[in-house]
Amino acid sequence: MPDVEPDVEEAVAVAFREEWGQVVATLIRVTGDWDLAEECAQDAFAQALDRWRRDGVPRRPGAWLTTTARNRALDVLRREAVGAAKLREVAVLARDEPSYEPEDASGDDSGVQDLQDDRLRLIFTCCHPALPIEARVALTLRTLAGLTTPEIARAFLVPEATMAQRLVRAKRKIRNAGIPYRVPPAHLLPERTTGVLGVVYLLFNEGYAATAGVDLVRTNLCAEAIRLARVLARLMPDEPEVLGLLALLLLHDARRHTRVDAAGDLVTLENQDRTAWDRAEADEGTALLETALRRGRPGPYQIQAAIAACHMTAPTADDTDWADIAALYGELARFVPSAVVRLNRAVAVGVAEGTDAGLALIAELEDEGDLAGYHLLPATCADLLRRGGRMDEAAEAYRRALELVENDAERRFLEKRLAECRFA
Amino acid sequence: MKYVLFLCTLVGGEELSPEEIAEDPRFTAYIDEVRSRDIVKGGARLRPHTDATTVRVQGHEVLLSDGPFVESTEYVAGIDIVEVADLDEAIALASRHPAALGGGSVEVRPVWE
């Protein structure tokens, strides 16, 4: 039946996206060996192509893959003649998990919680703060999302050998330094959850910063980050910040394609084509945000999502509720005491209450000196002055920003604005 | 697992003697805790870095120099050998150590065994 084959390939591809992290996570717990876990997971997916063609796609592909990978691990360990004690341990652990039996058609879901816990264990271990941040990101993409080492290297613009070394070192440190494979206990959980969310957000921003036309692997990071955020939201449905992060990513992603024009130049929010925004994605983000906010425990991701939602729900740029946005930035500054957040607040205040109100806030930041040398400080002044029709002062501020800017796309944008001031 | 905590303090900072440490409430609270849990397997309070002598051998010649082998803003003021379940426990211990609280730092290194 040759017409069955594409279906099987599709089923394996779907299973890979859905189950890879799960299979690896469980195998790591059972064997305690990260490399062996990856190897056996890979092997199980290769076997699936063959066996599912012959026997049909199993009712629970994840369970089939986990069992196959676990059996493979037992074979390897037997061949390597590891101690009988370790073998017994792996065999016993495997036997205790009823949902792994591929023939199991009883619909018994008692093992599902264990499997979910495995994936959480893996996420928290990959994002352990004792690992360097680049390693956390790489390890998450490799073990949880199933990206290959060359793909991750390309996504982060580093040579493949560098990325391979980074992954090897990270796994070695997990083993040698005794980083526990577990979901952290309650007293560590809030802090570690923040760390995990930070990794996913960083992943998304890497993809978001990549402009159109560049390597697809880079822009695909956005999709990977959203997929991971969805997994987290499913595993930690009671954590409003987890939902807030997913909402934020969806709201940003909904207008990702309108951020850059055909020539590769940045398009500001006001000038983006709102009809091209992905409404379904934005609506999902907004709905998630509402669910999160109902819990009554706001946090930085929920607030940033709320700011994004303010922009997304305004029918035109002129309808944007800047007073609301200014208030939200004020709230955000309480959680994240950063000068950049206050700079954003200054913009919102400047538009909502008048140019001078915004400039006064920027002057405060200038006096404090934390943002000295940061091109967005004069660029923000310039933007407010331009909006207020004070073109000469705006041009002067754009010139100061141009002296500091490094990114080419941003330079072109500032030059365009400066030219507009001159001809206004 | 066994870890060694390298307790680093700032050059020019406090230099408490073992006797002073034994009476300092910041330290006694910590010492009482680790004693009651029986996790410290050894350790030493070291004299300041200015009392160090560094030995190098070049061919048959023994070269001595005064001071630590590398000049730094911090120096190792003591070590603790601890036995705990995992890195998280070692980190928790290090983060409560008075040396870390006083502006210094604690390097946590697993023992190779």
Tens-digit pLDDT profile for chain B (113 aa)? 999 999 999 888 888 888 998 899 888 888 888 888 899 999 999 999 989 999 999 999 999 999 887 778 899 999 999 999 999 999 999 999 988 777 889 999 999 98
Rg for chain B (alpha carbons), in Å? 16
Q: For residues A45 and A65, is the Cβ–Cβ distance under 8 A? A: yes
Is residue A172 within 8 angstroms of chain B, CB to CB? no
* CB-based contact B88 A176, cutoff 8 Å: no
Residues of chain B positioned with their CB less than 8 A from the CB of A184 = 88
d(CA A392, CA A390): 6
Tokens of B56: 């190098």
Could you read off the pLDDT of A278-336 as tens digits, one per residue?
999 999 999 999 999 999 999 999 999 999 999 999 999 999 999 999 999 999 999 99
Percentage of chain A beyond pLDDT 70 is: 88
Could you read off the pLDDT of A89-144 as tens digits, one per residue?
676 665 555 444 444 444 444 456 666 689 999 999 999 999 999 999 999 999 99
Q: Looking at the domain assignment, is residue A333 inside a domain?
A: no
Q: Looking at CA atoms only, how far is residue A178 from chain B in angstroms?
A: 5
Q: For residues B106 and B7, is the Cβ–Cβ distance under 8 A? A: yes
Interface test with B, best of A121, A174, A179, A189 (most B CBs within 10 A): A179
Residues of chain A positioned with their CB less than 8 A from the CB of B1 = 178
The closest CB to that of A130, out of B85, B87, B112, belongs to B87
- Per-residue pLDDT at A106: 43
Closest C-alpha to B102, from B6, B42, B14, B11: B14
Q: Measured at the alpha carbon of residue A174, what is the angle toward residues A173 and A177, in degrees to the nearest 5?
A: 65
Q: Looking at the domain assignment, is residue A42 inside a domain?
A: yes
d(CA A137, CA A195): 11
Count Cβ atoms within 10 A of the Cβ of residue B58 and give its class: 0-12 exposed, 13-18 middle, 19 or more buried: exposed
Q: What is the mean pLDDT of chain A?
A: 89
The closest CB to that of B1, out of A130, A178, A184, belongs to A178
Residues of chain B that touch chain A, judged by Cβ-Cβ distance less than 8 Å = 1, 3, 85-88, 90-91, 108, 110, 112
Give the pLDDT band (50/70/90) at residue A214. Answer: low
ipTM of the complex: 0.88
Residues of chain B positioned with their CB less than 8 A from the CB of A188 = 88
Q: Looking at CA atoms only, how far is residue B68 from chain A in angstroms?
A: 27
Q: For residues A228 and A140, is the Cβ–Cβ distance under 8 A? A: yes
What is the residue type of A132? P
Q: For residues A384 and A355, is the Cβ–Cβ distance under 8 A? A: yes
Q: Looking at the domain assignment, is residue A65 inside a domain?
A: yes
Q: For residues B77 and B8, is the Cβ–Cβ distance under 8 A? A: yes
d(CA A234, CA A228): 10
Residues 71-110 of chain A with CB under 8 A from chain B are none
Tokens of A25: 């996570």
Closest C-alpha to A125, from A209, A221, A205, A21: A21
* CB-based contact A177 B87, cutoff 8 Å: yes
Q: For residues B97 and B5, is the Cβ–Cβ distance under 8 A? A: yes
* CB-based contact A184 B88, cutoff 8 Å: yes
Tokens of A77: 């360990």
Is residue A264 within 8 angstroms of chain B, CB to CB? no
SS3 per-residue string spanning B44-75: EECCCHHHCEEEEEECCEEEEEECCCCCCCEE
Residues in chain A: 424
Q: Is A374 helix (H, G, I), strand (E, B) or coil?
A: coil
- Per-residue pLDDT at A107: 44
Tokens 């000196």 locate to A369
Q: Measured at the alpha carbon of residue A28, what is the angle toward residues A24 and A29, in degrees to the nearest 5?
A: 120
* CB-based contact B88 A180, cutoff 8 Å: yes
d(CA A52, CA A236): 33
What is the residue type of A345? R
CB atoms within 10 A of CB A231: 22
Give the pLDDT band (50/70/90) at residue A1. Answer: very low
* CB-based contact B110 A178, cutoff 8 Å: yes
Q: Compare all CA atoms of chain B with the CA of A185 and give the residue at the minimum distance.
A: B88
Q: Compare all CA atoms of chain A with the CA of B84 and give the residue at the minimum distance.
A: A178
Tokens of A372: 């000295």
Could you read off the pLDDT of A363-409 as tens digits, one per residue?
999 999 888 889 999 999 999 999 899 999 999 999 999 999 887 87
Is residue A178 within 8 angstroms of chain B, CB to CB? yes
Residue A82: phi, psi to the nearest 5?
A: -70, 165
Q: For residues A352 and A322, is the Cβ–Cβ distance under 8 A? A: yes
What is the residue type of A127? C
Residues of chain A positioned with their CB less than 8 A from the CB of B110 = 176-178
The closest CB to that of A179, out of B3, B86, B112, belongs to B86
* CB-based contact A178 B91, cutoff 8 Å: no
Could you read off the pLDDT of A49-81 as tens digits, one per residue?
999 999 999 999 999 999 999 999 999 988 887
Q: Which residues contact A166 (CB under 8 A, 6 or more apart)?
A: A134, A135, A138, A158
Tokens of A178: 């005794």
Count Cβ atoms within 10 A of the Cβ of residue B90 and give its class: 0-12 exposed, 13-18 middle, 19 or more buried: buried
Residues of chain A positioned with their CB less than 8 A from the CB of B88 = 179-180, 184, 188
CATH number of B2-110: 3.30.70.1060
Interface test with A, best of B3, B86, B88, B112 (most A CBs within 10 A): B88
- Per-residue pLDDT at A100: 42
Residues of chain B positioned with their CB less than 8 A from the CB of A191 = none
* CB-based contact B110 A177, cutoff 8 Å: yes
Q: Looking at the domain assignment, is residue A100 inside a domain?
A: yes
The closest CB to that of A180, out of B86, B108, B112, belongs to B86
d(CA A314, CA A321): 8
Interface test with B, best of A176, A183, A191 (most B CBs within 10 A): A176
Q: Looking at the domain assignment, is residue A79 inside a domain?
A: yes
Tokens of A410: 């941003």
* CB-based contact B87 A188, cutoff 8 Å: no
Domain tally, chain A:
1
Q: Looking at the domain assignment, is residue A53 inside a domain?
A: yes
Q: Measured at the alpha carbon of residue A103, what is the angle toward residues A99 and A105, in degrees to the nearest 5?
A: 70
Percentage of chain B beyond pLDDT 70 is: 100
Q: Looking at the domain assignment, is residue A114 inside a domain?
A: no
Q: Looking at the domain assignment, is residue A72 inside a domain?
A: yes
